[in-house]
Amino acid sequence: MGEKGLKLLAKARKETGLAVITELLSEQHAEMVAEYTDIIQIGARNSQNFQLLIAAAKTGKPVLLKRGLSMKIEEWLLAGEYVLSNENPSLMFCERGIRTFETYTRNTLDLSAVPIIKKESHCPIVVDPSQGAGRADLVKAMCKGAVAMGADALLIEVHPNPAEAWSDGTQQVSLEVFGQLMQELRPLILAAGRE
Amino acid sequence: MGEKGLKLLAKARKETGLAVITELLSEQHAEMVAEYTDIIQIGARNSQNFQLLIAAAKTGKPVLLKRGLSMKIEEWLLAGEYVLSNENPSLMFCERGIRTFETYTRNTLDLSAVPIIKKESHCPIVVDPSQGAGRADLVKAMCKGAVAMGADALLIEVHPNPAEAWSDGTQQVSLEVFGQLMQELRPLILAAGRE
Amino acid sequence: MGEKGLKLLAKARKETGLAVITELLSEQHAEMVAEYTDIIQIGARNSQNFQLLIAAAKTGKPVLLKRGLSMKIEEWLLAGEYVLSNENPSLMFCERGIRTFETYTRNTLDLSAVPIIKKESHCPIVVDPSQGAGRADLVKAMCKGAVAMGADALLIEVHPNPAEAWSDGTQQVSLEVFGQLMQELRPLILAAGRE
Amino acid sequence: MGEKGLKLLAKARKETGLAVITELLSEQHAEMVAEYTDIIQIGARNSQNFQLLIAAAKTGKPVLLKRGLSMKIEEWLLAGEYVLSNENPSLMFCERGIRTFETYTRNTLDLSAVPIIKKESHCPIVVDPSQGAGRADLVKAMCKGAVAMGADALLIEVHPNPAEAWSDGTQQVSLEVFGQLMQELRPLILAAGRE
């Protein structure tokens, strides 16, 4: 995303009061991206791009590290060390599905990563069911499982009209479904001991 | 399991009032096993042993079909047809983890199978977190995720003293943990719209 | 395959002088199949159907054991023990591709199994490139690799007219291609120290 | 590798007459690395680091693109386009093993990639059996298979004393084994129609 796009994101943040998370794709853009975003995302394909992790860490912004497509949990924890050891304690892990033989879903969301990351790390674990399944009709169930298992946050793709989305429309939920989901998650959040 | 073992199971059933499920390993034992058990289990390694599926179906007993180690969901549904098409409507699917590259867990429990089986089939979906993770310390979290996502039943390995179990001790929970789990699952069962 | 099919195979053997290999699908057919065949094949989906392996072993016929779709080499060697330990020394391992994420080929032919089986076992290793790739246009190259790496035999699907094959037509080679292949393999067979 | 290391490589090149290939790890080092190397390597973990591919391409040096750990062949071809479309026609693909469930080898060398890349691309295909197997005792067999299947080049880790290698000693062959291998490959190279 170029600077023009980042400025639009900043404008949206100002008008809505929402925080902004966006992906960093090049070491050379680290400072520019950090200026406009609240959280820096490192994508699955760059999850072992250690120079990018270091550049992101050095901005001081919180970093969300997606799990690579065939990344062992141990490798994920070690990749996270490139952030933590560069004096940036604000690291979040994000499970977004691993690559398996299954073709019914785009990826296989590995929810066992939730309790494991909580055991092995003090960092929060975020679950991305949209990428994980690649199917809007599974997002609700995936979110419920993630919350019940202790996930600290969810990363859900929402679009006012998924059929017209510029990308990944099949995995996006409408505002209406999102509203229902928030209602349905309430008892699970309470059961998980969260407020 | 030979007939002697089956008779012991039948005795345990009589004394405790618990129902019995046990694995069928050979077509030639189908009738004998059916005599002593309430549910016939087909193991992961026999999930595409179609002759065994037919023999199990023909006993008329409910059949629990475990997912094979690298079985696509479509193949699992098709294997189930060997039961259903032999005039046995009492089929249950059981997710027990698929084989991936991950080494932190024994298998990768694919909880997305829960909503998918519910969409694609009218049969119940059971989740086996003990086999799925191979680690007792993950069983509780796995069960919570499964229930929140709509699982119809859980298959949990319990032992009065896991350290002395004859097999798979590392994935068995104690009676005490089992009791806690049943308490902790209650709000999730309610949230899932079950009584 | 029923007895009628087996009798046809026996007739083909008599008229052509070719040996016959066919798959055993049920313990209950072991004796019947053994009567008509020179080698008993155990398919990938039954590779851990231990009762079937024992029944095949007890016929005394040579047994060809295909690798399961996600079978570790260690498990394959252990499954073979069900044949060897039932007083049948005539065991052959057959690599036919493992299940991975790749979609360009039907399976991923794991040719590293060839030198590993030769190191770990005294039994012959056969390679099945037709199942392994699922594509006729890759069969020649796969065969060459297998022979160069020390395979003891190849299992190639051939059809006079692949386009009219009753099953798996896309992975079958014509008699003409088969003839060329045999020519092209000659120098590789010599290089591998075979006659 | 810093500039000091690169200067040592350049010195080794001058004294031996050997060409140098080394890995580029950061966009910001592209020009410096290009100055000292004959071929730029993009490692498996950076195989979808598109900014790095573009930076490598723009140096004008030949680029060797390793396959990612769970990269589909189609994705590999598309990643290669980031080099080709930046006016750098000197692209080589390098198969180095994919990640599967198998534990006997470090990775599963997918030799079917050799004929597929030759069908789908005009670029050379290189095979790296050292990384692919992670075991020196399999390197010879892997090389033979690769050459027989049409590989254009091999990337073999050699060390005068593998037991004292600073990294990856278990997958390195000695100079003696390397010499034998070159002899043993000769008839396979001829059979593959190469000089």
To which residue do tokens 């047809």 refer? B81
Residues B156-184 have pLDDT tens digits of: 999 999 888 888 888 899 999 999 999 99
| Strands lying side by side in the sheet with C39-42 | C21-23, C39-42, C63-66, C91-95, C125-127, C153-154
Nearest CB to C70: which of B25, B52, B99?
Answer: B99
- Contact state of B27 with C27 under an 8 Å Cβ cutoff: yes
Closest CA to A100 of C45, D94, B69: B69
pLDDT at C195 over 80: no
Q: How many CB atoms lie within 10 A of CB A66?
A: 25
Task: Give the Cα separation of D94 and D80 in Å (integer).
Answer: 11
CA D145 to chain centre: 16
Over residues C77-95, mean pLDDT:
98
Q: In 3D, which of C173, C165, C163 has the Cα closest to residue C129?
A: C173
The pLDDT of residue B165 is 86
Q: Helices D175-191 and D136-148, interaxial angle, to 10°?
A: 20
**Which percentage of chain B shows pLDDT scores above 90?**
88
Q: Which of A137, A129, A138, A180 is nearest to A156 (CA)?
A: A129
Distances (CA, A) of B127 to A104, B37, B186, C33: 18, 20, 17, 38
Average pLDDT of chain C is 95
Which tokens hold the place of C177?
A: 């291609």
Chain B nearest C-alpha distance from A165 (Å): 24
Whether the CB of C104 is below 8 Å from some CB of chain A: the reply is no
Low-confidence ranges of chain A (pLDDT < 70): 1
CA of B10, closest CA in chain A: separation in Å? 36
Q: Up-side HSE of residue B81: CA atoms within 13 Å toward CB?
A: 7
Task: Please judge whether D28 and A27 are an interchain contact, meaning their C-beta atoms are less than 8 angstroms apart.
Answer: yes
* Mean pLDDT confidence for C16-27: 95
By CA distance, what is C101's nearest residue in A? A101
The domain made up of C3-135+150-156 has a fold known as: TIM Barrel (3.20.20)
Cβ of B103 under 8 Å from any chain A Cβ? yes
Are C162 and C188 contacting, i.e. CB atoms less than 8 angstroms apart?
Answer: no
Identify the residue among D24, D29, D54, D70 best suited for mutation to test binding to A, counting A beta carbons within 10 A and taking the highest. D70
- Quick check: D133 pLDDT over 90? no
Mean pLDDT score of chain D: 95
Tell me if chain C has a CB within 8 Å of the CB of B52: yes
What pLDDT is recorded for position A116?
A: 97
Please tell me the CATH code under which domain A3-185 is placed.
Answer: 3.20.20.70
Q: Find chains touching chain B: ≥3 CB pairs under 8 Å.
A: A, C, D
pLDDT in tens, A118-173: 999 999 999 999 988 888 999 999 999 999 999 999 999 999 998 888 888 888 99
Distance in angstroms (rounded) separating the CA atoms of residues C92 and C62: 8
Please tell me the distance in Å from B60's CA to the nearest CA on chain D.
37
Q: How far apart are CA C150 and CA C111, in angstroms?
A: 10
Q: What pLDDT shows up at residue D1?
A: 62
Taking alpha carbons only, the member of D111, D96, D102 closest to residue C105 is D111
Check CB contact under 8 Å for B148 and A144: yes
Select from 3.40.50.720, 1.10.3720.10, 3.40.50.2300, 3.20.20.70 the CATH code of D3-191.
Answer: 3.20.20.70
Q: How far apart are CA B79 and CA C16, in angstroms?
A: 37
Phi, psi of D151 (to 5 degrees): -60, 145
The answer on pLDDT for D10 being more than 80 is yes
Q: Is A31 exposed, middle or buried (0-12, 13-18, 19+ CB in 10 A)?
A: exposed
State the 10-residue block means of pLDDT for chain B, 195 residues long: 86 94 96 96 96 98 97 98 98 97 95 97 97 90 97 95 86 94 95 88
d(CA D50, CA D40): 15
| Domain boundaries along the sequence of chain B | 3-191
Residue to test with chain C: of B31, B52, B103, most C Cβ within 10 A? B52
Amino acid identity of residue C56, one-letter, is: A
Rounded CA separation D176/D195 (Å): 23
Distance CA C52, CA B14 (A): 33
Alpha carbon B179 to its chain centroid, in Å, reads 20
Find the residue in D nearest to A27 (Cα): D27
B172, B162 Cβ separation under 8 angstroms: yes
Task: Give the span between the Cα atoms of C151 and C137, in whole angstroms.
Answer: 20
pLDDT at C1: 62
Query: What is d(CA D80, CA D93) in angstroms, rounded to the nearest whole number?
Result: 8
Alpha-carbon span D150 to D128, nearest angstrom: 14
Does residue D37 carry a pLDDT above 90?
Answer: yes
Q: What is the ipTM of this complex?
A: 0.93
Query: For chain B, where are the alpha helices, taking DSSP H only?
Result: 3-16, 30-36, 50-58, 73-84, 113-120, 129-133, 136-148, 175-191
Give the pLDDT score at D171: 87
Q: Does D137 touch chain C (CB under 8 A)?
A: yes
